[in-house]
C-alpha cells in the first residue's frame, strides 16, 4: 500500500513538472501539457482507426519479439554448447548490437515490404539480447549439479526441465523484459521510417508533419502505456511460471 | 572383487593418488579413511567413473548401477526435498527413503533445511536411486551421534557393494565396514 502511494505521488510530481514546463514554454505547438495530451488521447480513442492502428502495431511488435525470443533461445543454447558456432556467430551479434537501428531500417526497407520492416527490426533487436542472456546463463549452470544429473542418468528431457530451465529462468526473464522495451522502441522507429499503413509510427510521423503535437504526445503515451502493460504482464507470467516450477 | 592396480590420479597440477593398489570386497562394505586431501573423494570419483586414472587399472566396476553421495549435497535448490528424491526414483520409493532418513517434512526447499537435513535428503536420493553400488562420500557429515547410528543401521544393507569415506573408525564400525587406510 505504502509503495503504491509513493508511486502515485512520484507520478503526480512528474506530471506536475510536465505541466509546469509546458505552461512556462507557453506554446502548445512546442510542448503540449498533460491535459492537452489526455484530451487528444480520448479524442483518438473514440475513433475505430485508433484501435485498429494500435492493434496492427501491437501485432507487428509481438511477432518480431516472439521470433526474436525464439531465435535468441536457439542461438544461445547452440552457442553455449558449440564453441565453434559461438566463434563463428559472435561477430554477427557484435555487429547487430553496434549498428544504429536506423541504419538497419533504411537498409531493410530496400529488401522487404514496408509492413514487414517493423517485424524484422524488432526481431533483430531482441535476438542478440536473448541470445546473450541465455548463452551466459547456460555457461554459468552449476557444474556440480550438471555432474549430479549425469551420475543419476537424467534423460535429456529431465535435465532440461529440472536443471537447465530453472537455471536460466532469471536471466531469460531479464532478457525478455529488456528485449520487450527494445522491441517497442525499434518497432515504432521502423514504422516511423517505413510508414506502413495502419501503424502507430506512421501516425506519429503524420502528427509531426502536420504539427499536431497533442496527437504526437497522445500516440507516444499510448506506446508507453502499452509497453508498461506488456512488461508488467510478462513479469507476472514469469513469476507464475517460477512459482509453478 | 574390485581391484585398483597401480592407480595414479589427480587434477591438473596436483597428484592425489600415487601408485594405489587396493582390493575391495564385493559384495561387501569398505570404509576408506585418510586425512583430508589424501584422496578419499578422488577414489570414490574414480570408482563412480567420473574420473579416469592417469595410469593404472580399475577392474570390477563395469556394468553397475552406481549411486554416489557426493561430498557436497548437490540438491537442486528449486525443488523440495521430496521432489529432489523423486526425480531419481518414483514417489513411493522417495517417500520411503525420506522417512528412513527421518525427513518429516518433504515440502521444504534446501535453503529451508539445516545442514544435517540436506545431507539426509542427499542420502535419501542416493538410496532411492536403487543402485547395486553405493558410494558414499562422508555420509554422516553434519549428523549427531544418535542420528548417525540410526542412519547407518538403515543404509548398511541398502546395496550389495558399499564404499564410503569416513573420518574416524567409529563411523566405519557403525556400518560394520572393513577399513582401508589411504596412506600419505
Please give the full DSSP string across A139-183, using - where no structure is assigned.
HTS-HHHHHHHHHTT--HHHHIIIIIHHHHHHHHHHHHHHHHHHH
CB distance B143 to B94 below 8 Å:
no
Report whether pLDDT(A27) > 90.
no
Number of domains in chain A: 1
Cα gap A130→A96, rounded to integer Å: 13
Task: Answer whether A151 sits within 8 Å of B50, measured CB to CB.
Answer: yes
Partners of residue B78 in chain A, C-beta under 8 Å: 166, 245
**Alpha helices (H) along B15-167:** 40-48, 81-86, 91-100, 115-128, 145-155
Report whether pLDDT(A212) > 90.
no
CB atoms within 10 A of CB A20: 11
Q: Is residue A207 part of a domain?
A: yes
Task: For residue A134, give its domain range.
Answer: 66-244
Task: Answer whether B68 sits within 8 Å of A144, measured CB to CB.
Answer: no
Q: What is the DSSP code string of A15-81?
A: HHHHHHHHHHH--TTT---HHHHHHHHHHHHTSHHHHHHHHHHHHHHHHHHHHHHHHHHHHHHHHHH
Q: Smallest CA–CA separation between A77 and chain B, in Å?
A: 21
DSSP assignment letter at B177: P
Task: Answer whether B87 sits within 8 Å of A245, measured CB to CB.
Answer: no
Q: Smallest CA–CA separation between B43 and chain A, in Å?
A: 16
Given this model, what pLDDT does residue B142 score? 87
pLDDT band at B119 (very low <50, low <70, confident <90, very high): very high
Task: Answer whether A145 sits within 8 Å of B74, measured CB to CB.
Answer: yes
- Searching chain B, which residue's CA lies closest to the CA of residue A148? B74
Would strands B28-33 and B178-181 be described as parallel, antiparallel, or unpaired? parallel
Quick: pLDDT tens for A51-101: 999 999 999 999 999 999 999 999 999 999 999 999 999 999 999 989 999
Given this model, what pLDDT does residue A150 score? 94
Q: Is residue A168 part of a domain?
A: yes
Q: Is residue A160 part of a domain?
A: yes
Pick one of 3.40.50.2300, 3.40.50.720, 3.30.1490.20, 3.40.50.300 as the CATH number of B1-65+131-184. 3.40.50.300
A151 touches chain B (CB under 8 A): yes
Task: Answer whether B76 sits within 8 Å of A162, measured CB to CB.
Answer: yes
Given this model, what pLDDT does residue A29 score? 76
Q: Is residue A27 part of a domain?
A: no
Task: Answer whether B76 sits within 8 Å of A145, measured CB to CB.
Answer: yes
A123 vs A1, more confident: A123
**Can you tell me the ipTM of this complex?**
0.91
What's the whole-number average pLDDT of chain A? 91
Domain CATH for A82: 1.10.3720.10
Report whether pLDDT(A215) > 70.
yes
Quick: pLDDT tens for B134-174: 999 999 988 999 999 999 999 988 899 999 999 888 999 99
Q: Which residues of chain B are at the A interface, by a Cβ-Cβ cutoff of 8 Å? A: 48, 50, 66-68, 70, 72, 74, 76, 78-79, 87-88, 125, 129
* Listed residue (B37, B63, B60, B36) closest to B163, CA to CA: B60
Task: Answer whether A163 sits within 8 Å of B48, measured CB to CB.
Answer: no
> Exposed (0-12), middle (13-18) or buried (19+): which is A118, by Cβ within 10 Å?
buried
Task: Answer whether A152 sits within 8 Å of B74, measured CB to CB.
Answer: no
Q: What is the largest CA-CA distance in chain A?
A: 73
- Average of pLDDT values for B32-49? 90
A160 touches chain B (CB under 8 A): no
Q: Is residue A18 part of a domain?
A: no
Cα gap A120→A115, rounded to integer Å: 10
Given this model, what pLDDT does residue A94 score? 93
In chain B, CATH 3.40.50.300 covers 1-65+131-184
A243 touches chain B (CB under 8 A): no
Nearest residue, CB atoms, B72 vs list A144, A154, A162 = A144
- Average of pLDDT values for A185-190? 93
Partners of residue B72 in chain A, C-beta under 8 Å: 144
Range in A219-228, B67-76, B100-109 the model is least confident about:
A219-228
Residue B6, H or E segment:
strand B2-11
Nearby residues of A17 by Cβ (< 8 Å), 6 or more positions away: none
Report whether pLDDT(A241) > 80.
no
Report whether pLDDT(A240) > 80.
no
Partners of residue A152 in chain B, C-beta under 8 Å: 67, 87-88, 125, 129
Count of alpha carbons within 13 angstroms of residue B40, beta-carbon side: 25
The grid cell for A114 is 514496408
Task: Answer whether A152 sits within 8 Å of B129, measured CB to CB.
Answer: yes
- Searching chain A, which residue's CA lies closest to the CA of residue B65? A152
Task: Answer whether A151 sits within 8 Å of B78, measured CB to CB.
Answer: no
Q: Smallest CA–CA separation between B131 and chain A, in Å?
A: 10
Partners of residue B88 in chain A, C-beta under 8 Å: 152
pLDDT band at B19 (very low <50, low <70, confident <90, very high): confident
- Searching chain A, which residue's CA lies closest to the CA of residue B130? A152
Residue with cell 522417495: B94
Q: Is residue A240 part of a domain?
A: yes
Amino acid at each position: 500500500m505504502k509503495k503504491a502511494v509513493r508511486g502515485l505521488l512520484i507520478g503526480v510530481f512528474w506530471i506536475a513538472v510536465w505541466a509546469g514546463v509546458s505552461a512556462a514554454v507557453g506554446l502548445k505547438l512546442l510542448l503540449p501539457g498533460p491535459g492537452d495530451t489526455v484530451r487528444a488521447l480520448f479524442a483518438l480513442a473514440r475513433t475505430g482507426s485508433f484501435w485498429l492502428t494500435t492493434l496492427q502495431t501491437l501485432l507487428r511488435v509481438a511477432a518480431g519479439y516472439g521470433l526474436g525470443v525464439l531465435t535468441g533461445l536457439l542461438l544461445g543454447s547452440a552457442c553455449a554448447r558449440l564453441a565453434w558456432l559461438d566463434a563463428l556467430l559472435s561477430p554477427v551479434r557484435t555487429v547487430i548490437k553496434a549498428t544504429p537501428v536506423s541504419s538497419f531500417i533504411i537498409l531493410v526497407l530496400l529488401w522487404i515490404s514496408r509492413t514487414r520492416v517493423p517485424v524484422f527490426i524488432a526481431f533483430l533487436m531482441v535476438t542478440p539480447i536473448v541470445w546473450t542472456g541465455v548463452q551466459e546463463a547456460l555457461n554459468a549452470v552449476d557444474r556440480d549439479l550438471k555432474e549430479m544429473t549425469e551420475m543419476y542418468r537424467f534423460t535429456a528431457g529431465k535435465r532440461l526441465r529440472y536443471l537447465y530451465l530453472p537455471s536460466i529462468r532469471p536471466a531469460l526473464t531479464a532478457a525478455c523484459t529488456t528485449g520487450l522495451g527494445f522491441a517497442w522502441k525499434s518497432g515504432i522507429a521502423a514504422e516511423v521510417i517505413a510508414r506502413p499503413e495502419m501503424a502507430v509510427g506512421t501516425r506519429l510521423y503524420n502528427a509531426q508533419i502536420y504539427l499536431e503535437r497533442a496527437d504526437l504526445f497522445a500516440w507516444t503515451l499510448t506506446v508507453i502505456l502499452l509497453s508498461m502493460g506488456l512488461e508488467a504482464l510478462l513479469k507476472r507470467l514469469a513469476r507464475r511460471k517460477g512459482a509453478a516450477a | 572383487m574390485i581391484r585398483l592396480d597401480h592407480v595414479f590420479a589427480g587434477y591438473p597440477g596436483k597428484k592425489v593418488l600415487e601408485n594405489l593398489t587396493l582390493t575391495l570386497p564385493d559384495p561387501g562394505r569398505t570404509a576408506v579413511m585418510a586425512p583430508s586431501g589424501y584422496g578419499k573423494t578422488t577414489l570414490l570419483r574414480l570408482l563412480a567413473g567420473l574420473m579416469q586414472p592417469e595410469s593404472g587399472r580399475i577392474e570390477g566396476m563395469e556394468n553397475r548401477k552406481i549411486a554416489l553421495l557426493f561430498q557436497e549435497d548437490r540438491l537442486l535448490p528449486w525443488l523440495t526435498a521430496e521432489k529432489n528424491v523423486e526425480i531419481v526414483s518414483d514417489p513411493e520409493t522417495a517417500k520411503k527413503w525420506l522417512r528412513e532418513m527421518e525427513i518429516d517434512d518433504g515440502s521444504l526447499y534446501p535453503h529451508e533445511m539445516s545442514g544435517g537435513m540436506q545431507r539426509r535428503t542427499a542420502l535419501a536420493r542416493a538410496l532411492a536411486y536403487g543402485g547395486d553400488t553405493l558410494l558414499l562420500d562422508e555420509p554422516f557429515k553434519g549428523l549427531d551421534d544418535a542420528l548417525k547410528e540410526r542412519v547407518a543401521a538403515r543404509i548398511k544393507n541398502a546395496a550389495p557393494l558399499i564404499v564410503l569415506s569416513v573420518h574416524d573408525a567409529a563411523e566405519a564400525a557403525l556400518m560394520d565396514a572393513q577399513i582401508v587406510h589411504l596412506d600419505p
